């Protein structure tokens, strides 16, 4: 019952913030990733590494603050402004990671692993998931801004990303339980099967096609966020599903190396924030760049 209750709370909080958009969504994402940053820090410490918590958590918040700039009331920056300035933010974060640990008052001040895990921390839990906010705010260059959050094209882009990731998780789980015979990667995740992975990919291809078609012809017919390019939906489902499953395996790798079962117990019955969002960490940037390059035609 506790698992079901918290599952519903998480679901409605996530869906509500996505629908509302604006500053609400990046704030909700920033809070979740801030906690995810704590979980990553604890995993690194379990291995004997000592990353800088201030740099990791500060940079996570910085990525979401920059991602939210286009939706700040009165802002005149475009939806692509954050992405254009991410290289600068990454450069600042990397330099700070070296300089902060260089002058840390410990003996020795820092190790290669301390610096590496600091940089990995804010990239893994800040830079990557912040693309979901970029996706929610994305509009075609030159297109008129839409005030109604329920008609903004970014909402359709986030939905297709989430449906692909959810379909991957759900159908990979049940497909594996029903048909699974061949283990996918037993050294990292002893329960995942090749049959489950294939079921997740096939379901993602189907749901990506359904969402894209429904968005262009029914829910967002006035703006056609996917520009009628139904042919790309199965390919997007394929690539994002693969990225989502690799994200799941990557988090399993980190947990296995740290010797822990869950990233934390922050969400009763569900584990930690990284456990719930591991697939999105890679699924959201792949979705963003797919929409930006393939759908909107920019490179």
Whether residue 146 is predicted with pLDDT greater than 80 in this model: the reply is: yes
Question: Which pLDDT belongs to residue 6?
Answer: 74
Domain range for 235: 144-299
Tell me: do 133 and 148 sit in the same domain. no
Please tell me the total count of domains within the chain: 2
Residue 221 is encoded by which pair of tokens?
A: 């017919």
pTM of the model: 0.95
**Nearest CA-CA partner of 64 in 4, 130, 114:** 130
Tell me: do 83 and 223 sit in the same domain. no
Tell me: do 168 and 127 sit in the same domain. no
Tell me: do 117 and 149 sit in the same domain. no
| Count of CB atoms situated within 10 Å of the CB of 251 | 25
Tell me whether residue 210 is in a domain: yes
Whether residue 87 is predicted with pLDDT greater than 90 in this model: the reply is: yes
**Long-range interactions of 206-210: CB distance < 8 A, separation 24+:** 206/167, 206/237, 207/163, 207/164, 207/167, 207/237, 208/160, 208/163, 208/164, 208/233, 208/234, 208/236, 208/237, 208/240, 209/233, 209/234, 209/237, 210/163
Question: Which pLDDT belongs to residue 267?
Answer: 80
Tell me: do 94 and 217 sit in the same domain. no
Q: With pLDDT > 90 as the criterion, what percentage of the chain qualifies?
A: 77
């Amino acid at each position: 019952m506790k698992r079901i209750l918290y599952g519903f709370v998480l679901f409605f909080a996530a869906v509500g913030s996505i629908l509302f958009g604006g500053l609400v969504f990046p704030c909700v994402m920033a809070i979740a990733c801030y906690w995810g940053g704590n979980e990553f820090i604890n995993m690194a410490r379990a291995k004997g590494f000592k990353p800088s918590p201030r740099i990791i958590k500060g940079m996570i918040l910085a990525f979401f603050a920059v991602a939210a700039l286009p939706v700040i009331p009165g802002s005149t920056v475009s939806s692509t402004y954050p992405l254009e300035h991410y290289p600068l933010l990454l450069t600042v974060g990397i330099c700070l990671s070296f300089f902060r640990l260089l002058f840390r008052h410990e003996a020795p001040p820092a190790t290669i692993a301390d610096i590496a895990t600091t940089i990995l921390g804010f990239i893994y839990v800040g830079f990557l998931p912040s693309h979901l906010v970029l996706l929610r705010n994305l509009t075609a260059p030159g297109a008129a801004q839409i005030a109604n959050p329920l008609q903004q094209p970014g909402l359709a882009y986030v939905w297709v990303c989430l449906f692909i990731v959810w379909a991957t998780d759900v159908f990979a789980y049940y497909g594996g339980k029903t048909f699974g015979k061949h283990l996918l990667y037993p050294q990292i995740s002893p329960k995942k099967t090749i049959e489950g992975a294939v079921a997740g990919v096939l379901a993602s291809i189907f749901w990506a096609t359904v969402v894209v078609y429904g968005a262009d012809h029914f829910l967002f017919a006035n703006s056609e966020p996917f520009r009628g390019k139904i042919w790309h939906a199965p390919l997007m489902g394929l690539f994002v599903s693969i990225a989502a499953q690799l994200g799941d395996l990557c988090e399993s790798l980190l947990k296995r190396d740290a010797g822990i079962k869950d990233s934390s117990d922050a969400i009763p019955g569900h584990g930690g924030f990284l456990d719930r969002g591991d697939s999105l960490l890679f699924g959201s940037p792949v979705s963003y760049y797919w929409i930006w390059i393939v759908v909107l035609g920019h490179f």
